[in-house]
Amino acid sequence: MKLKFFDKYYGDVGEKSYLQDINKDNLYIGDVVNVKCKNMPDFLSVIVKDGDDTFVMGIRTVDISTSKDFKVYKEKSYASMEAGDEVHNVKYVDDTEDTQKEEKNQRKKDLSPDKALKALIGMLVIADILGIGEDSDDNELEHD
């Protein structure tokens, strides 16, 4: 089984990741986690993989092993999920020839440096507005 978010695939369900939750439980691709946030409502998400990068969908740039603002708890094992299940808009889909072709085509589309920079700037602005980060008060962005 694979994970799909809109038109992009995010790893093979059951593959081991290097991530652990707050209780030091190992996390696998497809595990459902409860994300507790300092300045936002809690939400359910999924452990996903993009290339060599393994992360919690929705908080990709957060290092969950050191974050003081986000705490991640394993809610449900990947083994209990079935094709057709969906969590936080991430769908569990059967691994068929069609999905393998789609995933191969997806890898051919590279993220341009311009799009990556715009996304990073957007995330930094949101983090500043929400007050996320140890030194966010010392480095506030100017708002009009």
Q: How many helices (H) and strands (E) does the chain have?
A: 2, 10
**Rounded to whole angstroms, how far apart are CA atoms 100 and 1?**
11
pLDDT of residue 91: 94
DSSP 140: P
**Distance of CA 66 to CAs 7, 21, 76, 105, Å?**
31, 11, 22, 35
Would you mind telling me the total number of residues written for the chain in this entry?
Answer: 144
pLDDT of residue 89: 92
Residue the block writes with tokens 């569990």: 92
3 state SS of 111: coil
Q: Please choose, from the candidates 78, 61, 77, 65, the residue with its C-alpha nearest in 3D space to the C-alpha of residue 23.
A: 65
**Rounded to whole angstroms, how far apart are CA atoms 10 and 28?**
12
**What is the helix, strand, coil percentage profile of the chain, to 5?**
25, 35, 45
User: Tens digit of pLDDT per residue, the chain (144 long)?
Assistant: 999 998 888 999 999 999 999 999 999 999 999 999 888 889 999 999 998 899 999 988 888 888 888 999 999 999 999 999 999 899 999 987 666 777 666 665 556 667 777 788 888 888 887 877 655 455 555 555
